[in-house]
Amino acid sequence: MKKLTQLTVAAMCFAGISYTSNVMALDGGALYLDATKGGCSACHGKDAKTPMMATFPKLAGQNADYAYNQMKDIQSGARANGQTAMMKGIIHMTTDEEKKAIAKWLSEQ
């Protein structure tokens, strides 16, 4: 049921953008740019390699599993240093499936 709800929400978000009912078809690139999903691009750069601050990580080409795990660790607090606080406040705005889709997209950049 929860999955169905997520699918419905995702379908609503992606109305107008090509979307199938398969959750694996979530558009990681669109999610990455979506301000309602935390606006990753504002800090990490639209192309994921020109971050807003020189000290912020470049994400383009990063290994998908690694990137996904970092997102999970930042959200849970397992990864916590001075800079992590910047992202911790927004990463909960994405579901696990969305994190995976974004991580996959990042790995392909």
User: Residue 88, interface with ligand HEC (CB under 6 A)?
Assistant: no
User: Is residue 102 a contact partner of residue 94, using CB atoms and an 8 Å limit?
Assistant: yes
User: Residue 60, interface with ligand HEC (CB under 6 A)?
Assistant: no
Closer to ligand HEC by CB, 83 or 109: give it: 83
Which of 19, 49, 56, 97: binder of ligand HEC (CB under 6 A)? Answer: 56
**Interface residue list for ligand HEC (CB under 6 A):** 37-40, 42-44, 56-57, 59, 62, 67, 70-71, 79, 81, 83-84, 86-87, 90-91, 94, 102
